[in-house]
């Protein structure tokens, strides 16, 4: 908790928006700390594992679908440790208009 926060400029002028922005940043930091404590890993290590999960869009004569990549064992183990369900394989399926 004694590290430097990476902040970028936020162009908020109204007090309620500034307050909301600070609360959202605090909640994000809290979520990261809870995940680090539960998994026993650092956030950069968890992020590196989870960034290997991607979604591709594929189009063919039968339609378009969005499918996630296979989940590496390290990412699957991390999701299990954090008690997060594995994302489904097919996210969207559309058929061409007749």
List pLDDT tens digits, range 61-91: 889 999 999 999 999 999 999 999 999 999 8
Across-strand partners of 59?
64
Sole residue written with tokens 């969207």 = 92
- With 90 as the cut, is the pLDDT of residue 14 above it? no
**pLDDT band for position 3 (cuts 50, 70, 90):** low
pLDDT of residue 8: 62
| Alpha carbons 25 and 7: distance in angstroms, whole number | 10
């Amino acid at each position: 908790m004694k590290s430097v926060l990476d902040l970028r400029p936020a162009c908020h002028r109204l007090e309620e928006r500034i307050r909301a922005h600070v609360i959202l940043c605090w909640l994000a930091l809290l979520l990261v700390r809870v995940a680090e404590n539960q998994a026993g890993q650092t956030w950069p290590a968890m992020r590196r594992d989870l960034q290997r999960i991607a979604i591709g869009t594929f189009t063919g004569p039968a339609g378009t679908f969005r499918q996630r990549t296979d989940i590496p064992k390290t990412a699957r183990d991390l999701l299990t440790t954090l008690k997060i369900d594995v994302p489904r394989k097919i996210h969207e399926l559309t058929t061409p208009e007749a």
